[in-house]
Structure 1
Amino acid sequence: MANIQKCGQHVQLAKPLVRAYLLGYLSSTSPRIITVLIALARREISPVVALHRLFQVLRQAAALNRFPAFCGVLIGGSTLLQLPLKRIFIALNQILRRKAWSIDQVLIERLARFLAALISASISFSLLNSGPAHRAELPSTTSAKKTLISDPNKKPSPFEEPPETPAHSNAPKPATLPASAFAGRTMDLTLFAVIRALDVLISGMWARTASRKTRFTTAISRSTPPILFCFSAATIMHAWFYTPSRLPPTYNRWISTAAELDHRLLLALRHARYGTFIYGKDTGMAPLLASMCKDYGLPEEWGDPAITIPVPCELVHQGSGKSCEMHALARFWRGWAFAAKMYAPIQLLMLIR
């Protein structure tokens, strides 16, 4: 009977670790598995290739330097380490009592909880950063460096990425900036944790100070989150358009997938910001949008900024028509459908839970 009770206690202690690992494993593998299954359903890949990719997804996620292990060590360690740490503190407390010192029981529990979380977080972050960071994960200014290092006065060609600093700017050129990877692989997690912590602190302070609800305080409470979201989204989108190396690669890929924007339009915007795409002047940029016109069945002269001012709406709409209103509605629908595919299952799971 005693053995059964001990086993039950061990199972209860292991539950947080197992639950955290499984949730991390599912969150890491589910999107990639769904992507493979969709590609298989569309017959873009063969069943053999699909099985190979699924095996790779499952095997890579099970590595020690991946997110599931990070979750398991962080949550499980912060739970399992509390018991031995409490015993150590209780033993120390007994020694201190002999010398007329003592530690409060509540303080012992808080110290044990804090140290358990600190130790497990240190180990889990070390594990996550132990694997080599892929080159694709690091911000890169390779194209800008090539342009500036070979000849500082040479302008980029139409199909090259221009430097992210405008030609007329006094800011340091990208070639002079260090490209060290100081952030490691945990920048997204760090930013998420910091933002959530600030949210909790500010919300708690606001709840204590706003003892009486008025129309003004209610309006601030309701409007602050969407306003902050709008400012954040504007900053992120500006970076995506003009300084993509400042965003995590996952952000760039996700926004590019959702936008479904021809990369040549992005290049034209970046060249315009850099100063090599100018209306009314022949700067050698005509082939960039002219190739786009050819692909979408439009007159090639529409892509020449020296001849056509401004770029016609049909070209910006990627050949989908002249009406900006209809194009905006179509883009809104595609964006909504893209977001619904991603977030609707999560919301359903939350409702079911």
Structure 2
Amino acid sequence: MKLNHLRDIVAVAQNGSLRAASRHLGIAQPVLTRSIRDTEQELGATLFERHARGVRLTTIGEAVVRRASGIQAEFQRLEEEVEQLKGSGTGEVSVAFSTASSMSLMPSAVTAFRKRYPDTILKMSEGFFQPIQSRLLSGEVDLYVGPLDLKYVTSRIEVEELFENWRVVIARKGHPAGAARRLEQLSGERWIQPAWPDSGAEPDFRSIFTERGLPAPNIVTHARSALLTLVSVTSSDLLTILPIQWLDSSPAGFSLEALPLSEALSAPPICIARRKDMPLTPVAEHLHDMMRRAAAHYVHRRAGGVPGT
């Protein structure tokens, strides 16, 4: 089996049909069809099933595509690493952030990275760790930076803690409950439930109240984006609970504040994760170092602070 066979399998899987894949690759469809047939014969298994709109992967095909994607990513890294060791600043690096880390660490880390590698293609995405973990394992993503609960992490992922973290109750400035000092004083308020990028799941912050023997909060709105959550809290009397880093964005910092509660609301630590058995390219290693530096600067800025300040 050759690399072009793996390329062809991945292209068909991604494009959904032989015709679309042949256009994407710039090769004749009969050539692509023969490549897929030869690979299936070599493996002794059917990789694709035909249907009215194209083809779909078989169970074996899905496994082959996962492996093929990883091999392609590793081969691309090999080529890029050779070029970078020769002095080139080209290539690609991919990093996935949680919302909290994109607000607190991404700006300074990326600015420093760009000074060293202005021509490198930087691919950034945002999301929960659990779905991103599969992209780390496949080689599609080099680094994940954000809150991370170790119980969701496979042994194939290397995790480095950058700093401890906490959550806060956030309200618009001038909120009637702005003087509250205890969570129980907020039992009559209405809340917005955000999608927390703390884990692979979407935890419900009702547990913060029930663990303290308090009635469940009155959640009247659910939001699946940082922007929707921040705009909703800014323009209403809704309260929410978020990692403290959400206040690091300038627009949010001008119009929102953390209530000065005496209780500390813990959160998973901010970490950086990478695949153990896949060495980073020099460019990706430099971005990794810039994330560490950004985290150290963040901790220094926060030094002396306490949750709610």
Q: Place the TM-score, normalised by the shorter chain, in its bin.
A: under 0.3
TM score, norm. by length of structure 1 = 0.22
Q: Which has the higher helix share?
A: 1
Q: Which has the higher strand share?
A: 2
Larger radius of gyration between Structure 1 and Structure 2: 1
Higher normalized contact order (CA 8 Å, seq sep 6+, divided by chain length): 2
